[in-house]
Amino acid sequence: MLWPTLDWEGDFVGAPTVLHEDGKFRMWYEAGAGAAIGYAESGDGLTWTKNDEPMMLPDQDWEEGVVAAPAVIRHGGLYRMYYSGGRNDDTTMSAPWGYAIGYADSEDGRTWTKRDVAGRASGGDEAVEPILRPSDAWEGTDEEKGERGAVTSPSVLIYKPADRDLTLMYYTGGSWGDPVERQTSIGVAAVNDDYNDFHKGPPGEINPIVNQKFDLRLYGISQYLAYSESGPSVVRVRWNQFLMIYAQTDPLSETGTDGRGLAIASCPPRN
């Protein structure tokens, strides 16, 4: 349905997010393995017309030349994009999704302004910072070893309890690397205002919400092998039921091939 055909797309297009509005489908997608975020429209969801120029380029210091994995919702009269940025390690199987999550909004879905929790906006004199950084051990952060970890590939939805709008963000956290070495899980963060000051679920109590370990007990080698869960996509199918589809890497696979997993939760998915 969509192939890299424009020079700025390089040899990769992927990680799409799609909205259906006014009888047409609108897609924002990653191009060039994080080089830019593009935009396309379709009347039937099969044949797409791309915008000739990218919708977003990496122009903030923290992005380190990478903007990727956009998640777009429309809320409060604005299109809101949550995206990954920053550069990861250079190992063979490293994901090009970045290490932190940024935010931008738009009135039309085409012209975007990046913003952070301090109120800075792109185009000003000050740099815009990400709204979510890795900080917990399960996200791969180890200050003693100088490892910053990663939080990437957001999936965002609005959950509406009786008294407020709650924005829920599901994301990948962990350390990237070759299949046997990488350990990633899925966490959740939430905010109940418009300032994107997300608060993560407490580690060990809520986060990570998806973290499967296979008890193999290879004595002298490992007590368990950790499957790597990543790339969550969460949808609300009923008022109190949520479905999450995610990628899962099997450490016993010779190629580290990803499969797809499914999780179901209620009010909202937390454990």
| Range scoring the smallest mean pLDDT among 102-111, 176-185, 193-202, 230-239 | 176-185
Taking the C-alpha atoms of residue 38 and residue 129, their distance in angstroms, rounded to an integer, is 22
Unique residue bearing structure tokens 């010779």 = 254
Taking the C-alpha atoms of residue 271 and residue 260, their distance in angstroms, rounded to an integer, is 18
% residues pLDDT > 90 (the chain) = 54
Q: What is the pLDDT of residue 266?
A: 66
Q: What is the pLDDT of residue 229?
A: 85
Mean pLDDT for all residues in the chain: 84
Task: Tell if the pTM clears 0.85, that is, is over it.
Answer: yes
Q: What is the pLDDT of residue 219?
A: 56
Q: What is the pLDDT of residue 156?
A: 95
Give the chain's domains with CATH numbers: 56-266 (2.115.10.20)
